[in-house]
Amino acid sequence: MSGNQASLYLELIPHMTNQLPYSVHICEYDHPIGDTIYLHWHPEAEFLYLKKGQLTVMADQEEIILNQGEAVFIPPNRLHKAKSLSKQQGHYQAFVFSPALIGASFQRPQFQKYVQPIWEPHIPCCHFRKTVGWQKQVIFYFNQLIKAAEQGEKEKREDWGIAVTGFAMVMWQLLYRNHISYFCQDSVRQRLSLQMEKVFSYVHSHHGEEIRLGKLADLAHLSESQFCRSFKQLTGMSPFTYLNRYRIMQSCRLLLQTDKKISEIGTLCGFNTISYFNREFLKIVSVSPSVYRRQGREEKGMYQIGKGDAKEQT
């Protein structure tokens, strides 16, 4: 994702606690095998810890099986959902935060090095297991973070947010050193990321319009064939697969946050016909737009710390 787009997302912070850009969600669930967290996305990053049960977490093209006591890091802007693999009761905890929480402590050059890479599409999720030393440390600090957030909610004191931020910083340092930096050392990916910066910015700004391959190739200063190869090398998908995925992500937001007609949402997101929109939506989300809207609104209740236990979306 381009630097301009990253800055844009740093300003859009819907997950807030005590004026800080994070939220904590705790959920106990008891239902048949199937969806526990329905397919959604948000511009924030997320740590998801499974305290009890077994989940399959799907984020874009990745699939991770979480066992009890394990966690996963999901970068920003990833379509993701989770399915229960057990009929037994389960319990998960999620820390959803804007990287602005981390980036606020850095000057611009440090931000570009330690935080900004997380928006790049080639940074994968990270699966934390207690059998790996540094991953076990992340899980430990995550549990300390949750305790600090719970104590802050119990005491109704904002200063517990300092502790939450501190634990988040330590977790990020471990994540950067052992995961993010590994994918930033690839000079080819770095070059491609810079080369595609204007492409991502253009797609995100003009996704509701007709976008031609030639225009994107020109922005990257490549021929169309070279552009397609380079784009897939960086993102793992073709330019128009990425474009349609982004359009569908925007349509998901409009389906849940507005009362616009489905046909109008399809048009606003760049689809010429309702049939094409429905077909692409079903391919990516696995349900129709109408079903997604209904299920999303039914499950929209968000149960944060102190608000009880229920099935929730994070």
pLDDT per position as a tens digit, 142-190: 999 999 999 998 998 889 999 999 999 999 999 999 999 988 776 777 7
Q: How far apart are CA 229 and CA 223, in angstroms?
A: 10
Averaged pLDDT of the chain? 85
Which CATH entry fits the domain spanning 188-298: 1.10.3470.10, 1.10.10.60, 1.10.4190.10, 2.40.50.250?
Answer: 1.10.10.60
Evaluate if residue 38 carries a pLDDT over 50: yes
Evaluate if residue 107 carries a pLDDT over 60: yes
Q: How far apart are CA 193 and CA 203, in angstroms?
A: 15
Lowest mean pLDDT among 37-46, 90-99, 200-209, 262-271: 37-46
Give the per-residue pLDDT at 266: 96
Higher-scoring residue by pLDDT: 262, 40:
262
Give the per-residue pLDDT at 256: 86
Give the per-residue pLDDT at 43: 87
Cβ atoms 216, 227 nearer than 8 A: yes
Give the per-residue pLDDT at 4: 36
Give the per-residue pLDDT at 14: 52
- The token duo for 177 is 């050193």
Give the per-residue pLDDT at 94: 95
Residues 118-147, mean pLDDT to the nearest whole number = 94
Q: How far apart are CA 16 and CA 54, in angstroms?
A: 28
Q: Where are the domains of the chain?
A: 3-184, 188-298
Task: Select the highest-mean-pLDDT range: 241-250, 287-296, 302-311.
Answer: 241-250
Give the per-residue pLDDT at 299: 65
User: Measured between alpha carbons, how far is residue 83 from residues 34, 247, 304 in Å?
Assistant: 5, 24, 20
Q: How far apart are CA 120 and CA 109, in angstroms?
A: 17
Label residue 5 by pLDDT band (50, 70, 90). very low
Give the per-residue pLDDT at 100: 85
Label residue 32 by pLDDT band (50, 70, 90). low
Residues 246-263, mean pLDDT to the nearest whole number = 92
Give the per-residue pLDDT at 15: 66
Burial of 173 (0-12, 13-18, 19+ CB in 10 A): middle
Give the per-residue pLDDT at 16: 66
Evaluate if residue 305 carries a pLDDT over 60: no
Give the per-residue pLDDT at 296: 78
Evaluate if residue 300 carries a pLDDT over 80: no
Evaluate if residue 303 carries a pLDDT over 60: no
Residues ≥6 apart with Cβ < 8 Å to 213: 224, 227, 228, 239, 240
Residues ≥6 apart with Cβ < 8 Å to 283: none
> In which element (H, E) is residue 194 found?
helix 187-195
What pTM did the predictor assign? 0.77
Cβ atoms 308, 23 nearer than 8 A: no
CATH 3.40.50.300 fits domain 3-184:
no
Task: Select the highest-mean-pLDDT range: 69-73, 251-255, 296-300.
Answer: 69-73
Burial of 253 (0-12, 13-18, 19+ CB in 10 A): middle
